[in-house]
Structure 1
Amino acid sequence: MNKSIVIKKGFAEDVRFQLKDGSGSDAIHTVPTYAYGVCHLHTDSMLQGVGLAFTLGEGNNLVKDAITYLVKHVEGREINELMADFGTTYKQMVDDPNFRWLGPHKGVVHLALAAVVNACYDLWAKSRAVPLWQLLIELSPEELVNTLDFSYYEDILSREQAIELLRSKSAGREMRKKILDLGYPGYDTSVGWFNYSDEKVADNIRHAMDMGFTAMKLKVGSKDPARDIRRAEMVRNIAGDKATIMFDANQQWNLPQAISICKSLLPLNPYWIEEPTHPDDVYAHVALAEAVPVKLALGEHVPNKILFKNFLQSGCMSFNQVDAVRVGGVSEFILISLLSKKFNIPVVPHVGDMGQIHQHLVLFNHIAMDHPALLLEHIPHLKEAFVNPVEIVNGRYKTPHTPGMSADLK
């Protein structure tokens, strides 16, 4: 029998970290401040739920204010009773008539929703004294699906279809649990931030390889494409032909530029090219995929399940980078992962939360849904800010065993 734990009060916090020396920079966000809109759920016990939404500085206070409003939907609720039908509460929050006009389902209010939703899942796992990945894989298909909101998905993935998909993946679960001992493979984004010098990028590549990483990513999107090509060639030359290399433009190119530069990057055998153009422009991504035989990774700035639905239906997405602190938290992440599995598109999350949350979710995706265990992005800059930071050994995430989703900040 699960112990009764009641959410007494929700609080929001604005937490910011100023990065230095070019860390975190890309073609659009040249001077980033890593920031979290934090939701704290205080209970009638010693346990506290902690949920994060990720931003890049100014504006984080707006997310904080929106969290303060949305937590009213879960205050006074017993956590196990709440999560037994969380899909209903989720829909009430996402369609709150005082906030829906501001989205719908995107922007500041959706980021705040992510923080509240994630805090609920964190508290749920803590209430059962297990890490989030374990809680999720131990739920029955019906219990898991009860935490989801299928609105606007009925035509492509119904509740019943989701249950059947999960049941169909029960075979092989024990074999897939070997990932818990092996550790989930990571890739290093911090080698190639946009404002790093060529010399620093070269040193970082060698350091990443010494740490056991065989996959790494370079930020591109320079005003002078020749700079991107030169640096991309340098990464390939130092890392070697067998290394897995990705290039991330962070939405910098228009379609003609994307077509031209992607063609120039093709000889370097990129594993993917990420966010080549505006994240809402489905047609441009389709046109790029038709013009250049390159795999596209999309989702860092795709805000909700509907746009993910459109991208998956369009056929232009090769890798799904859904982020549980960008969409409406763990609940929407799981729903999008289910649809992605239906389309056989692997999920390789963006990790604006430093991988803390997604290390749990990729384990769940692999074990419960049979998503391939490909790669999880690793960014080390805020490691010291967390009570239980991720651990990387030989380029792999060690499986977390502390109860919750590893989101507690010091």
Structure 2
Amino acid sequence: MIRKVTVADARFPLEGDAGSDAIHRDPIYSYAVAQLHDDSGLVGSGFAFTLGEGNDLVCKAAEYYGRALQGKDIEEVMANFGALFLQLSNDQQFRWLGPHKGVVHLALASVTNACYDLWAKKRGVPLWKLLIDLSPEQIVSTLDLSYLEDELTAAQAIELLKGQQLTKESRMPILEQGYPGYDTSIGWFNYSDELVRENCKKALAEGFTAMKLKVGSADPQRDIRRAHIVREVAGPDVKVMLDANQQWNLPQAIAICNKLKGIDPYWVEEPTHPDDVNAHATLAKAIAPIKLALGEHVPNKIIFKNYLQSGSASFIQVDAVRVGGVSEFIAVSLLCKKYGVPVVPHVGDMGQLHQHLVLFNHIAMGHEALFLEHIPHLQKHFVNPAQIIGGVYKTPQVPGSSCDLLILNN
């Protein structure tokens, strides 16, 4: 039984210019951490990601949601978690602050993720194993599919998952092979050209076959020059992604993306405002065959549904510490499977939680095991940091979701 819920404001200043992009020049990687203390002695840890200011507001909202869990058994909570998620996300007063976005939704993510962590710990298995061992009916019972019924009903979601059961065993070798990663830290926005060049060489030496550069400079020529540096060092066979972090308006995005075609980018990420579905649809047509990736700042399943309906997104980067947590992440993944669009999460969790979720996506849902973003900057702060060897995420074996922080476990 969950006897108490505690919330912590954890902030980690970064060294040098790490984490910088065209919009967020001086980030402080921060977590609003919810902890569910079970009377068995186990503690479920979950969090939402912010860049510093306002993290305390998310913590305050998480305390409010957490009170609904006190006195309940985690198996009772998770048996029909979708209904509880719907109830909490539609709280008659808190909902006004969203709905389903912003501080309140981040707070719900923190509490939701703690529930999944405690559930896996209580069963004594890593989260990926808990999820792939659940039946389609059990998975769908953890989801809130409200407002998705025009695209995906509960019955349809169950049938989609059942359809993948027949070939599930053929995808199990990923557990031994490990899940491919890509290096997103070669080219933070404030890095010098020379540091970008050296980081590309280092990433190749470490076994990465895909890497990402931050773009969105006031002078587009800087972006073009740096993109050519990456392509020159990486060679023609490495996937190179470009991330503008919402910096451009639509005319700028069209003009600059077309100039960047020369480096053959695998995708351009977050080219313009994340709420502007129509602009992305226009852009996708204007810069084809360049593909768009988005989702880092998309807050909920409804807007993801709109992006999929528009046909503008070739890669969906849903982040379980940005949307309402693991439950909403899975709902979005199911939508993407229906549309045949790959899920390549943004990792506000530094890949700790998502290394479990991409294994579930691949094994139980049949998503392609494309790759998972790797950001190394907070590894030293986790009790069980993600292991990336030879550019590949090694399958975690410790019970839970790998989200325990050292500062809260000493």
Q: Of 32, 47, 51, which residue of structure 2 is paired with 1:52?
A: 47
- Identity among equivalent positions (%) equals 65
Q: Does 1:243 align with 2:238?
A: yes
Q: Does 1:141 align with 2:136?
A: yes
Superposed, 1:39-188 pairs within 5 Å as 39-188=34-183
Following TM superposition, by how much is the alpha carbon of 1:91 offset from its aligned partner in structure 2, in angstroms?
A: 0.7
Q: Distance in 2 between matches of 1:189 and 1:196?
A: 13
1:261 is aligned to 256
Following TM superposition, by how much is the alpha carbon of 1:210 offset from its aligned partner in structure 2, in angstroms?
A: 0.6
2:12 is aligned to 17
Q: Does 1:395 align with 2:395?
A: no
Q: Does the aligned pair in 2 maintain the 1:47–1:123 contact within 8 Å? A: yes
Q: Of 205, 211, 214, which residue of structure 2 is paired with 1:210?
A: 205
Q: Of 285, 292, 297, which residue of structure 1 is paired with 2:287?
A: 292
Q: Distance in 2 between matches of 1:82 and 1:156?
A: 27
Q: For residue 400 of structure 1, what is the amino acid of its counterpart?
A: P
Q: Does 1:368 align with 2:364?
A: yes
**SS of equivalent to 1:37:** strand
Q: Distance in 2 between matches of 1:373 and 1:160?
A: 26
Q: Does the aligned pair in 2 maintain the 1:252–1:276 contact within 8 Å? A: yes
Q: For residue 340 of structure 2, what is the amino acid of its counterpart?
A: N
Q: Distance in 1 between matches of 2:33 and 2:54?
A: 13
1:7 is aligned to 2
Q: Distance in 2 between matches of 1:394 and 1:304?
A: 34
Following TM superposition, by how much is the alpha carbon of 1:46 offset from its aligned partner in structure 2, in angstroms?
A: 1.3
Following TM superposition, by how much is the alpha carbon of 1:262 offset from its aligned partner in structure 2, in angstroms?
A: 0.5
Q: Does the aligned pair in 2 maintain the 1:17–1:34 contact within 8 Å? A: yes
Q: Distance in 2 between matches of 1:75 and 1:340?
A: 34
**SS of equivalent to 2:67:** helix
2:275 is aligned to 280
1:34 is aligned to 29
Q: Of 310, 326, 331, which residue of structure 2 is paired with 1:330?
A: 326
**SS of equivalent to 1:188:** strand
1:279-333 per-position Cα deviation (integer Å, ceiling 9, x unaligned): 0000000000111111000100000000000000000000000000000000000
1:3 is aligned to none
1:14-71 per-position Cα deviation (integer Å, ceiling 9, x unaligned): 0000012100000000000000000010111110000010000011000010011110
**SS of equivalent to 1:163:** helix
Q: Distance in 2 between matches of 1:282 and 1:154?
A: 20
1:138-176 per-position Cα deviation (integer Å, ceiling 9, x unaligned): 000001100001111111100000000000001221110
Following TM superposition, by how much is the alpha carbon of 1:76 offset from its aligned partner in structure 2, in angstroms?
A: 1.1
Q: For residue 162 of structure 1, what is the amino acid of its counterpart?
A: A
TM-score (normalizing by structure 1)? 0.98
Q: For residue 263 of structure 2, what is the amino acid of its counterpart?
A: L
Q: Distance in 1 between matches of 2:48 and 2:351?
A: 13
Q: CA RMSD in A?
A: 0.5
Q: Does 1:382 align with 2:374?
A: no
Q: For residue 343 of structure 2, what is the amino acid of its counterpart?
A: V
Following TM superposition, by how much is the alpha carbon of 1:225 offset from its aligned partner in structure 2, in angstroms?
A: 0.3
Following TM superposition, by how much is the alpha carbon of 1:378 offset from its aligned partner in structure 2, in angstroms?
A: 0.1
Following TM superposition, by how much is the alpha carbon of 1:195 offset from its aligned partner in structure 2, in angstroms?
A: 0.3
Q: For residue 22 of structure 2, what is the amino acid of its counterpart?
A: A
Q: Does the aligned pair in 2 maintain the 1:185–1:374 contact within 8 Å? A: yes
Following TM superposition, by how much is the alpha carbon of 1:75 offset from its aligned partner in structure 2, in angstroms?
A: 1.3
After the TM superposition, list the runs of 4 or more consecutive aligned residues in structure 1 that deviate by more than 6 angstroms. none
Q: Does the aligned pair in 2 maintain the 1:73–1:89 contact within 8 Å? A: no
TM-score (normalizing by structure 2)? 0.98
**SS of equivalent to 1:73:** coil
Following TM superposition, by how much is the alpha carbon of 1:267 offset from its aligned partner in structure 2, in angstroms?
A: 1.6
Q: Of 333, 338, 347, which residue of structure 2 is paired with 1:351?
A: 347
Q: Distance in 2 between matches of 1:8 and 1:148?
A: 25
Q: Distance in 1 between matches of 2:104 and 2:90?
A: 11
Following TM superposition, by how much is the alpha carbon of 1:9 offset from its aligned partner in structure 2, in angstroms?
A: 1.0
Q: Distance in 2 between matches of 1:186 and 1:95?
A: 36
1:234 is aligned to 229
Q: Does the aligned pair in 2 maintain the 1:282–1:311 contact within 8 Å? A: yes
Q: Distance in 2 between matches of 1:62 and 1:381?
A: 24
2:188 is aligned to 193
Q: Does the aligned pair in 2 maintain the 1:12–1:38 contact within 8 Å? A: yes
**SS of equivalent to 1:76:** coil
Q: Does the aligned pair in 2 maintain the 1:185–1:373 contact within 8 Å? A: yes
Following TM superposition, by how much is the alpha carbon of 1:263 offset from its aligned partner in structure 2, in angstroms?
A: 0.2
Q: Distance in 1 between matches of 2:38 and 2:356?
A: 23
Following TM superposition, by how much is the alpha carbon of 1:220 offset from its aligned partner in structure 2, in angstroms?
A: 0.2
**SS of equivalent to 1:169:** helix
Stretches of structure 2 that go unaligned for 5 or more consecutive residues are: none
Q: Distance in 2 between matches of 1:341 and 1:74?
A: 32
